[in-house]
Structure 1
Amino acid sequence: MRLHRLSVTAFGPFGGTHEVDFDALSAAGLFLLHGPTGAGKTSILDAVCYALYGAVPGARQGSTLSLRSHHADPHTPTSVLLELTVADRRLEITRRPEQLRPKKRGDGMTRDKAQTLLREQVTTGPNGPEWKALSRSHQEVGEEIGQLLGMSREQFCQVVLLPQGDFARFLRADDQARGQLLGRLFDTGRFAAVEDRLAELRRATQRRVASGDEDLLRLAHRIAQEAGDNPDARERPLPDLAPGEPGLAAAVLEWAAIARGGARERRDVALAAVRAAEAAHHAAGRRAEEAAELDRLQRRYAQARARAAELAERAPEREQTRERLRRARDAEVVAPALDLCQTAERDLRAARDAEERCRAPLPPHLATADRDQLAALERELRQELGQLAAARRLERRASDIDTELTALDRDARADEDAIAEAADWLAGWSERRLAHQRRVDACQEAAARADQLAARIEPAVRARDAAELRDRLTGRVEALRAERLRAAERSTAARDHWLDLKERRLRGIAAELAAELRPGQPCAVCGSSAHPAPARAGEDHVDRAAEEAAQAAHQEAEALREEAESQLGAARAELAAATASAGDTPAAELAHAVSELRREHATAQATGAETHAAREELAHAEREYERRRDQREDAERRVAARTSRREALAGELASLTAQLTEARRGATSVAARADRLERQVTQLADAVEAAAASESAARRLHEARERLADAAQRAGFPSPRDAADAVLDASRREALQQALDQWQAEEAAVAAELADPAARAAAGRPPADLARAEAAVEAATHALRGASARETAARERCDQLDQLSTQAARAARALGPLRAEYERVAALASLTAGTSAENERKMRLESYVLAARLEQVAAAASARLEYMSGGRYTLVHSDARTSGRGRAGLGLHVIDAWTGHGRDTATLSGGETFFASLALALGLADVVTDEAGGVRLDTLFIDEGFGSLDEQTLDEVLDVLDSLRERDRTVGIVSHVADLRQRVPAQLEVVKGRAGSAVRHRLGV
């Protein structure tokens, strides 16, 4: 990573815009960043860190509003721009923090959201570099920079900025403090996660083994419940066993076998009792069936006697029915004549009704005339009607002439109107043609304006949508910020609660260890097998489960906080993008502008769409002008030709009128007189026909009555009326016959029942005792059900015991692999946690990995420390245990070549501590760089500490720093030591003033 250019505006102590040219400073390889206290030297480093990660180093973090300079103009936005090369890619990062600015309209302040822009240089041409925008999302830019650098913000601040004060503390810190710093730098949390995972697996497998023992015990108790009153089970009860005891599986399986044997014996006894009860039940059933059959026969014979008496009482009714059927059969020969007579009577009534209807329209003097008189009058009227045919032809000709004259008059008026209308229309032709031409011109101008307005609508809509999104996101960001604050408070409270429980548990850990002591077993702490006074748990003792629950709650709260932080960052990025697109214009104003543009566009487009219609109307008007001019000339010619034709038709019509007057004889027309004659002829013909039909119907009725009287006499009936009364329809005859047949069948059935020998014999015996037989069957059934229930219970008990025994055997077999897995996982968990006897130094897995990293750091630092100390000091790592009962840690010692002995780093003087910590920081930078994937760090900063060195040591330190240039590195020294200004020619000076700080470049002596 190489820095090229940094530009800060209204950032920290810098009120205006100031630029740092790192390319010019890097030419010398070593440059000095100096200035008075409070001028803003560290703010330069803060700006670099903020541009890369969106936040300043951890010790100086605060609200993003605190990044804004108090010296800046209120209208000047705070921004940081950094140009750098990383992974052979030249990038430019621009960040604007969240800040307040004056409102563009009205008084007060408004809040601008944070913005981020990442660009990459794609080509360099004669017109300068060309940049391509990659992203505006805070999250995307952060992920891209993190992947390219391969370091987190904390690692970057330790490796690139090299804060000497931190490494001085690291040099004198204890093992735990060193472990925390190294863990953050090398991201060894995954090894701690392995420890936690193994511990979790050990607890899980332990719970599974205990659960297996409990399942086996539950099966044993269920076997005891199923065994019930087994004498063998009472003699050998279930042992009082507990989970984890040896021999648990064998004891349960042995006791289950005894319970199964007793259950099978009781099942065999119950089966024999069921078979005896079945035999008794069958015998009682046979006796009950015999009693039921006797009772049935006795009741059937009694019912047959009752039915015979009833049939004897209804004998007269049967005789009447037979007589009625006989008379109906005699009347069947009279039925055809009776039907014929009834039909003739209906026909006569219908004919007379029709004759009356036909005579009703005739004149009164013809209503009583006979049929011959009506026929003669019909013939006279038909002759007169034939004479009117010629008169009808004359009337049609007169009508045609009249119609033609009317048409001529109508056409004459139409031609006169057309001539006048054409003259009026042609008189205003010039003004109409000018109006049509003006409309065509206006439509063309509106079409052009519609195209111009359409190009302005889409940008206006995008700005309006962005403004609406900006307003919605503003409220969402505020809500997410409040949610993030609440999540952070909940996470902090959960962490404090967890740490409190953990501290309380550690205070009572002795009682927890004492609870695991067993007589005769060695103590896990001291190794003694005697336990004279085990510690007791206090009232406020916290067990492992409570601590783990609190830890899980803290982790859940922390995950929710991170989720809230992520959502807030995403919302801020969206809001920044929306604000960049919409600006500060209110959404309502933009929406109103869009509405106005669309209204104007719609109006212009509608008017422009009428261009074709306007042109068509102009062409239509021109064609109409030609048509009306021709129409007027044609009408004038037709008026002249129509006069002679009208005079000839008037003469012919006068002659025809005289002839038609004679033929009409008072009627309105010949056709009217003909219609009247035709109606009279039709009425007379209908009356003649109806009179003939009536006479014919009367003759047929007389003949039918004579035939009916003759048929009734031959059938033996005194009169036709008696014969008609004796006639029955088919359904009635069939019903009477069915009744007779049913009586006969009933008599036969009763006779058969009374003649049955079995029924007669049963009637002579005493009545059957059904209640006694049914009671015997019920008692036998109850006994059988009881025996069957006992046999079923015994069989089900045997089946249940077999299933439970099979489950117990399966559970016992499954416990073996579980115990083996638990022992293996427990051994690994103890080894990684440093509590195993095989782990002689009691080192945790994470501490072991950090010790290896610290050993690499010490080796890299010793090469530089030996040179800076004139060959006197070297740094070595020690993993020796710090105390008799403690664990091996992250020890760090300095070897003094003058004495040949090692000593604690806390014994170094101030100057020795500085160059020792500087060597340690440079060594750590090399190791972390390799750990991060070999990302080349071409720019480093060293902050303060040079004032504690003497002149010779300062020369040696500068020689070491100058040697970094051999690797093409640029080192920036942050210091206000005056002697360094003479030794380092390339300088970046930060000067402060009442209007804010400024930077100056000095590239030579």
Structure 2
Amino acid sequence: MKPEYLELCAWGPYKGRESIDFNRMGRSGLFLITGATGAGKTTVFDAVCFALYGCVSGGLRGLDSLRSGFADKNSRTYVKLIFSHKGKRYLVERSPRYDRPKLRGNGVTTESEKGTLSFMDGSSETLLAEGASAVTEQITELLGLRFSQFKQLSMLAQGEFSQFLTASSKERTQIFRNIFETRIYDSIQKYLSGRAKALSREIQECRLREEEAAARIRTEDEGFIKLLQAEKKDYERISHCLKEELEELERQKHKTAELAEKMGREREKCLSRLENAQERKNKEEEAGRLKKTIEILEEEAGRAGEKRSQIEKSRRALEIRPFNERLLSEKDRLNSTRKEIEKERQILTRRQETFLEALQKKKRLRDRLEEIRDIRKKQLIGILAEGLEEGMPCPVCGSERHPSPAYWKEQKDSGFTDADLKAMEKQAQTAESEEEEAHEAAALSKGTLERLEKQASDDEKEIFRLERIWKEKLEDAGFLGEEDYRASFLSRAEIERQEREIRKKEDELREKKTLFRRLRQEIDTGEKEDDSVLQEKSEKIQGEYDRLTREKEAIAVRLEAGKNSAEVLCAQRKKERGLLEAYGIAGDVERAVSGYNKKHLVFEQYVLSVYFEEILEAANKRFGRMSDGRYGFKRAEEAKDGRTKEGMELLVLDAYTGKARSVKTLSGGESFKAALSLALGMADVIQAYAGGIQVETLFIDEGFGSLDSESLDQAVNVLRSLAGGNRLVGIVSHVEELKERLERRIIIEKSNTGSTIRTSVI
């Protein structure tokens, strides 16, 4: 990968859009990125890394601080990079996730991370990937490098490449492990170690199973017992003795089984005779109990006749019950009618009182109405009298003489009006309606009362008739009276239940008599034996049978345990021989890869030491040139601590003294040259092992300030040779002397409104 054109906008210290045309630096060679401290030199590296991988080169800079603090709200933060790779050109553009002020109103809005990758063919562009993750995956596949590998090969970040120089053996091992991905060798070592331990555990388990199998063996042979109790057991002899023991147990088992079978047959015969004797005895006892039960049932059968007579009387009571229920119903209806009569009488009394009150009110209001009407007539006459004149005809009678008009004039102011008259007429009308309603209600109540009294009279006559008939029915049914009838009455369900009970007792009596006769016949025809004698004989036979059974079972248990032990011993001894053979090989290999070898290196460290030697060989080519042949690197043959098994200690060989010493004894300038040589050597080896990947660009960030003039010339000459061919090498530094030595420069100018970029090619 070789950058051709870089464009930044609102990025880090750069307020607006800035760009770098790397083509002006040439297809190869050395150029300088210079500027004041904090101007944004390293930010150029960050922009290239971010454009390619969405990450920044420095470990202290985060993705949340990429937007420029100088940028205005209308500026978009982005990075655009045009680069060439294997003869083809590509354009990648990314925007980080950042917050900016809203274009309208207050507050901020968040811009999401974006990215695109396009293939450039002349003036046309073809989109290859869109989205931050998709672009990173495409770039990684295109360049064949992950971000960590790209940094190691193309980005020697500020202060980072010197860490490898002074790192401890353990730290250097971790760095190499990440770079060369050698964890697989550590996994192989752990697998082999685990395999050897697993085999060892399996061998111990086999021996434990053999010990357990031997402990389960039970024998009465004293020689065999001593063999089993020996501290170091001879499992070959144990297996032989166990085989003989099992053969003897088989013979004993067969003999005991025959005796137990014979004793079992005798036991069955004796038990059968004992069972017959006990069955006869049980039948005699059962016959005795049946006899007593039959006697009780016969007594109950004698009482059944009396009970049947009572049931028949209850049936007659049940037959005449409907007539009795009719009589009781009539009496209930009469009582109900009488209650209604009493209630209706009270209603009639209240309604008659209400009628009398309404009648008096109507009369009183009518008298008052006539009085008001008379007064109103007089008022009208008084009004006419006021208009009379002597000689003029009266509008009522036509007379021209008016003897007493003064009297009638006094009547016109009596205090009543037409409204008063109408109100009184309305009251009189209402009272008359109320009197009529009260009269109708009283008449209705009287009619109801007369109907109820007639109904009660009819009911009394019907009840009298029914009582006479009921007495006749009681006499016809054989009852002495009402009390005798009630005492005899039962429900139909109860009558049926008692009849079923009588039939059940009769059936039970017949069944018991039949069973008793059969038992007596069986007892009289059977053979009589003494069950106590048979019981004693059976117990003796059973005891001997149980003893033989226990002995047979004990032999079987010993035989089964012995067979299991023999089987386990045979299987485990065979398995142990195979495991010992496998462990002999696996154990030797495991010890070799675990560091128990001449170099005292574990497998992964051995592989890493090869890489380390190649890195030192490549680094020494630059270190010797930069130190006038004085210094070279050397890997320590022996580790400081033999227990670590790392072997990654680094020494510097001083040609002036002919001795190797620690790299920490180098001066500041010497340390920089050593670190730079080591970093360049590492990049060479990484590139060689990266599948033929060509590294066409290298950026080196700072560190030149510690060099004197001569050392600076040596470092620049080494980098010039490194840039030979088709490689572009950029140095980030503010050292003034480098400006004199490098003609092609990218100058970062710093101000209080943000930094700007310009290029200078002399």
Partner residue, 1:48: 48
Cα–Cα, structure 1 residues 958 and 286, in superposed 2: closer, same or farther, change >3 Å? closer
CA distance in structure 2 between the partners assigned to 1:920 and 1:286 by the alignment? 106
Answer yes or no: is the 8 Å Cα contact 1:8–1:80 preserved in 2: yes
Cα–Cα, structure 1 residues 236 and 257, in superposed 2: closer, same or farther, change >3 Å? farther
Deviations 1:521-545 (A, max 9, x none): xxxxxxxxxxxxxxxxxxxxxxxxx
Q: Does 1:963 align with 2:721?
A: yes
Q: Does 1:7 align with 2:2?
A: no
1:829-844 paired onto structure 2 within 5 Å: 829-834=590-595, 836=596, 839-844=597-602
| Structure 2 residue identity aligned to 1:162 | L
Q: Does 1:239 align with 2:236?
A: no
Partner residue, 1:281: 267
| Structure 1 residue identity aligned to 2:30 | L
Secondary structure of 2:754's aligned partner = coil
Q: Does 1:196 align with 2:190?
A: yes
CA distance in structure 2 between the partners assigned to 1:865 and 1:292 by the alignment? 117
Q: Does 1:143 align with 2:137?
A: yes
CA distance in structure 1 between the partners assigned to 2:109 and 2:229 by the alignment? 80
Partner residue, 2:125: 130
Shift of 1:235: 4.8
Cα–Cα, structure 1 residues 912 and 132, in superposed 2: closer, same or farther, change >3 Å? same
Q: Does 1:923 align with 2:681?
A: yes
CA distance in structure 2 between the partners assigned to 1:7 and 1:283 by the alignment? 114
Shift of 1:14: 1.8
Answer yes or no: is the 8 Å Cα contact 1:220–1:256 preserved in 2: no
1:36-75 paired onto structure 2 within 5 Å: 36-57=36-57, 59-62=59-62, 64-75=63-74
Partner residue, 1:116: 115
Secondary structure of 1:865's aligned partner = helix
1:123-522 paired onto structure 2 within 5 Å: 123-124=121-122, 128-136=123-131, 138=133, 140-163=134-157, 165-221=159-215, 223-224=216-217, 227=218, 230=220, 232=222, 235-236=225-226, 238-239=228-229, 247=233, 249-250=235-236, 253=239, 256-257=242-243, 260=246, 263-264=249-250, 266-268=252-254, 270-281=256-267, 284=270
Deviations 1:29-54 (A, max 9, x none): 22110000000111111122222232
Secondary structure of 1:966's aligned partner = coil
Partner residue, 2:588: 827
Cα–Cα, structure 1 residues 884 and 781, in superposed 2: closer, same or farther, change >3 Å? closer
Between Structure 1 and Structure 2, which shows a larger proportion of helix residues? 1
CA distance in structure 1 between the partners assigned to 2:245 and 2:99 by the alignment? 85
| Structure 1 residue identity aligned to 2:626 | M
CA distance in structure 1 between the partners assigned to 2:39 and 2:522 by the alignment? 139
Cα–Cα, structure 1 residues 763 and 876, in superposed 2: closer, same or farther, change >3 Å? closer
CA distance in structure 2 between the partners assigned to 1:24 and 1:990 by the alignment? 16
Answer yes or no: is the 8 Å Cα contact 1:164–1:914 preserved in 2: no
Secondary structure of 1:60's aligned partner = coil
Give TM-score, length-normalised by structure 1: 0.47
CA distance in structure 2 between the partners assigned to 1:104 and 1:230 by the alignment? 102
Answer yes or no: is the 8 Å Cα contact 2:9–2:77 preserved in 1: yes
Answer yes or no: is the 8 Å Cα contact 1:230–1:262 preserved in 2: no
Secondary structure of 1:890's aligned partner = coil
Secondary structure of 1:821's aligned partner = helix
| Structure 2 residue identity aligned to 1:804 | S
Shift of 1:776: 5.1
CA distance in structure 2 between the partners assigned to 1:855 and 1:230 by the alignment? 72
CA distance in structure 1 between the partners assigned to 2:527 and 2:650 by the alignment? 122
Deviations 1:149-174 (A, max 9, x none): 34443332232122474444433444
Answer yes or no: is the 8 Å Cα contact 1:992–1:998 preserved in 2: yes
Consecutive unaligned residues of structure 2, counting only runs of 5 or more, are 285-519
Cα–Cα, structure 1 residues 163 and 111, in superposed 2: closer, same or farther, change >3 Å? closer
CA distance in structure 1 between the partners assigned to 2:730 and 2:626 by the alignment? 18
1:792-831 paired onto structure 2 within 5 Å: 792-831=553-592
Cα–Cα, structure 1 residues 262 and 33, in superposed 2: closer, same or farther, change >3 Å? same
Partner residue, 2:79: 80
| Structure 2 residue identity aligned to 1:280 | E
Partner residue, 1:748: none
Answer yes or no: is the 8 Å Cα contact 1:990–1:1000 preserved in 2: yes
| Structure 1 residue identity aligned to 2:128 | A
Secondary structure of 1:18's aligned partner = strand
Shift of 1:56: 1.9
Cα–Cα, structure 1 residues 26 and 760, in superposed 2: closer, same or farther, change >3 Å? closer
CA distance in structure 2 between the partners assigned to 1:850 and 1:807 by the alignment? 47
Answer yes or no: is the 8 Å Cα contact 2:4–2:21 preserved in 1: yes
| Structure 1 residue identity aligned to 2:264 | E
Secondary structure of 2:730's aligned partner = strand
Higher Cα radius of gyration: 2
CA distance in structure 2 between the partners assigned to 1:957 and 1:761 by the alignment? 131
Deviations 1:501-560 (A, max 9, x none): xxxxxxxxxxxxxxxxxxxxxxxxxxxxxxxxxxxxxxxxxxxxxxxxxxxxxxxxxxxx
CA distance in structure 1 between the partners assigned to 2:527 and 2:59 by the alignment? 119
Partner residue, 1:981: 739
Q: Which deviates further from its counterpart, 268-277 or 6-15?
A: 268-277
CA distance in structure 1 between the partners assigned to 2:621 and 2:529 by the alignment? 126
CA distance in structure 1 between the partners assigned to 2:233 and 2:224 by the alignment? 21
Secondary structure of 1:280's aligned partner = helix
Cα–Cα, structure 1 residues 870 and 825, in superposed 2: closer, same or farther, change >3 Å? same
1:544-943 paired onto structure 2 within 5 Å: 767=528, 780=541, 783-784=544-545, 787-834=548-595, 836=596, 839-882=597-640, 889-898=647-656, 900-943=658-701
Cα–Cα, structure 1 residues 10 and 219, in superposed 2: closer, same or farther, change >3 Å? farther
Cα–Cα, structure 1 residues 112 and 232, in superposed 2: closer, same or farther, change >3 Å? farther
Cα–Cα, structure 1 residues 104 and 998, in superposed 2: closer, same or farther, change >3 Å? closer
Partner residue, 1:990: 748
Q: How many pairs are equivalent?
A: 531
Secondary structure of 1:59's aligned partner = coil
Secondary structure of 2:127's aligned partner = strand
Shift of 1:69: 1.9
Deviations 1:72-95 (A, max 9, x none): 223434322333233555333333
CA distance in structure 2 between the partners assigned to 1:765 and 1:12 by the alignment? 122
| Structure 2 residue identity aligned to 1:133 | L
Secondary structure of 1:972's aligned partner = strand
Answer yes or no: is the 8 Å Cα contact 1:230–1:259 preserved in 2: no
Answer yes or no: is the 8 Å Cα contact 2:4–2:84 preserved in 1: yes
Answer yes or no: is the 8 Å Cα contact 1:178–1:890 preserved in 2: yes
Secondary structure of 2:253's aligned partner = helix
Cα–Cα, structure 1 residues 760 and 41, in superposed 2: closer, same or farther, change >3 Å? closer
CA-atom RMSD in angstroms: 4.0
Cα–Cα, structure 1 residues 928 and 884, in superposed 2: closer, same or farther, change >3 Å? closer
| Structure 2 residue identity aligned to 1:218 | E
| Structure 2 residue identity aligned to 1:284 | C
Cα–Cα, structure 1 residues 10 and 257, in superposed 2: closer, same or farther, change >3 Å? farther
Partner residue, 1:592: none
Partner residue, 1:99: 98
CA distance in structure 2 between the partners assigned to 1:176 and 1:24 by the alignment? 44
Answer yes or no: is the 8 Å Cα contact 1:34–1:987 preserved in 2: yes
Shift of 1:106: 5.5
Determine what percentage of the aligned residue pairs are the same residue.
31
CA distance in structure 1 between the partners assigned to 2:238 and 2:15 by the alignment? 85
| Structure 2 residue identity aligned to 1:178 | R
Secondary structure of 1:967's aligned partner = coil
Shift of 1:968: 0.3
Deviations 1:918-967 (A, max 9, x none): 22222211111111112111111122233333434433332322223432
CA distance in structure 2 between the partners assigned to 1:272 and 1:774 by the alignment? 25
CA distance in structure 2 between the partners assigned to 1:825 and 1:141 by the alignment? 47
Cα–Cα, structure 1 residues 850 and 766, in superposed 2: closer, same or farther, change >3 Å? closer
Shift of 1:115: 2.7
Secondary structure of 1:111's aligned partner = strand
Shift of 1:256: 4.4
